[in-house]
Amino acid sequence: MAGMRVSAKADYAVRAAVELATVPAEVPVKADQIAISQDIPLRFLENVLYELRQNDIVELGRGPDGGYYLARPATEITVAEVISAVDGPVAAVHGHEPEELTYLGSSKPLQSVWLALRANVRMVLGTVTLADVVADALPEPVRELSGHPEATAGSPTEL
């Protein structure tokens, strides 16, 4: 396995949300400006922004001066929320929450593995806010993990 996969959609959604977090809340940003500044294909971005609107992450101001802005302060929106808005629950297994799974026999402990994985993903993505990213002020546990040797392990058999 080459590593944990973050979809292009999730990456684009987080980047768009971070871009919106760089401007004051009352200043709407047009989708084409976000697309250019973050090098995201505009058509893809429009779909992502629609899903973020449906999940109350961003709002759309209408009219000639309209554009997108965060629905809440950047300090209150986590990376996990943004990813979940476009990709569904983080660390789902076949689209199911780990506690919904039933394993038999020797595979029974796998449920605990998936639960632990979800907890770790949530401890990272659920603690980092858009404001943290913009300020380059990630929580210390996240900074520590990003510097861990396993974070950059190059073996294709490692996560």
pTM for this one? 0.85
Burial of 111 (0-12, 13-18, 19+ CB in 10 A): middle
Instruction: For residue 60, give the 3-state DSSP assignment.
Output: strand
pLDDT digits (tens, 9 = 90+) for 94-138: 777 888 888 889 999 998 988 888 888 888 999 999 999 999 999
Mean pLDDT (whole number) for 29-43: 96
Distance, CA of 98 to CA of 112 (rounded, Å): 8
pLDDT at 149: 85
Q: Are 29 and 68 in contact (CB under 8 A)?
A: yes
Please report which confidence band the pLDDT of residue 39 belongs to, taking 50, 70 and 90 as the band edges: very high
The whole-angstrom separation of Cα 34 and Cα 156 is 34
Q: How confident is the model at residue 85 (pLDDT cuts 50, 70, 90)?
A: very high
DSSP class of 102: -
Kindly indicate the confidence band of residue 158, based on its pLDDT and cuts at 50, 70 and 90. Answer: very low
Which residues face 68 on adjacent strands? Answer: 29, 60
Query: What pLDDT, on the 0 to 100 scale, is given for residue 128?
Result: 96
